[in-house]
Chains A and B, each alone.
Chain A
Amino acid sequence: MSTAMNFSAKSFTPRPPDKGAFPLDHFGECSAFKERFMECLRQSGYESAACRHSAMAYLECRMDRQLMANEPLEKLGFKDLISEKSEEKPEKS
């Protein structure tokens, strides 16, 4: 697909991921979260914005079980969801 013989056309150079590779979830510890996320996707017509809560839950599960480097969720693009959560908490209590 990206043979280097066409000098005029731009070719694609793959880039390594920013934070490296996910370790494999061999024991299926976060499969329940994944199923919830996939179910949400199917129901919302595969719209990513509607299922960000489930995505955040899945990533939190990975971080809890050492399947992902611990990172504050704001740095992963969930800043608005975090501020929603912190708004809800003082309301509830």
Chain B
Amino acid sequence: MALCGPAWARYAHGLRLGALPRPGLCGARGVRGSNPFTRQQEEEWRRRNRSAVGYIAAAAVGMVGLSYAAVPLYRLYCQATGLGGTAGTGSDGERIERMEPVRDRLIRVTFNADTHASIQWNFRPQQSEIYVVPGETALAFYKAKNPTDKPIIGISTYNVVPFEAGQYFNKIQCFCFEEQRLNPQEEVDMPVFFYIDPEFAEDPKMAKVDLITLSYTFFEAKEGQKLPLPGYQ
């Protein structure tokens, strides 16, 4: 039975379906006949839809642009606040001059020395440990000997454990990241002059840390070989 127009509306209402579009079978009038909205309203909606699409597209483009801009902005923010271990601008002589030792945090710094398998130096620390406080500069020594009869050029890198404490461990001067040449049968003292940042005492994550291990590793520097050194030339 083909119900169309108002008859269909009554039927749908009887089924508690409310307004239900009736496709197809009702002849030329079809769904349009039961459309209660005027053409003007339809056009209004179409216009609003278009502007909404425009706004959404603009927002999407804006998000993409923000994600590109975020990289240099975040870098600036990190440098300004020193988050994530980025070296802040201003870590130099004035800072060292002004810093005060924090006497109630005694930290034990142990020293470790390693050599890569291919380098034949004897490399070892001259003290196994040293007790320092944050905010005070300290000196420590390593010793290296070249037991062969050929000059050997070595280059070293270092590591600090625990990793999070490494951002507070500042070396004023040491012997790392530069080629060091040892003549045959030569033995030299290699000093490390460092301090632990006084802000170490204020970091809640470092409250339980009282042992820091400084570990140096020496590699042999071959001609024309470029080691991936951290931005240090």
Contacts and interface: CB of A to CB of B under 8 A. Distances in A.
Interface of A: 1-2, 9-22, 24-26, 28, 30-31, 34, 37-38, 41, 45-49, 51-52, 55, 58-59, 68, 71, 74-79
A6 B94 CA distance: 37
Contacts of A13: 85, 166, 230
Interface of B: 85, 87, 91-94, 96-97, 99, 101, 126-133, 136-139, 141, 157-161, 163-164, 166, 170-178, 180-183, 186, 188-191, 193, 195, 229-232
B209 to A, nearest CB: 14
The 10 tightest CB contacts between A and B, nearest first, are A77-B137, A75-B93, A16-B232, A21-B178, A55-B139, A48-B138, A17-B171, A12-B163, A48-B132, A19-B173
Contacts of B183: 26
B96 to A, nearest CB: 5
Contact of B141 (A38, A48, A68): A38
Contacts of A21: 173-178, 180
Contacts of B175: 21-22, 24
Contacts, number: 136
B172 A76 contact: yes
B159 A14 contact: yes
Contact of A75 (B96, B128, B129, B166): B96
Contacts of A47: 130-131
A14 to B, nearest CB: 5
Contacts of B189: 25, 28, 30-31, 34
Given A17-B171, A18-B170, A75-B96, A26 B188 contact: yes
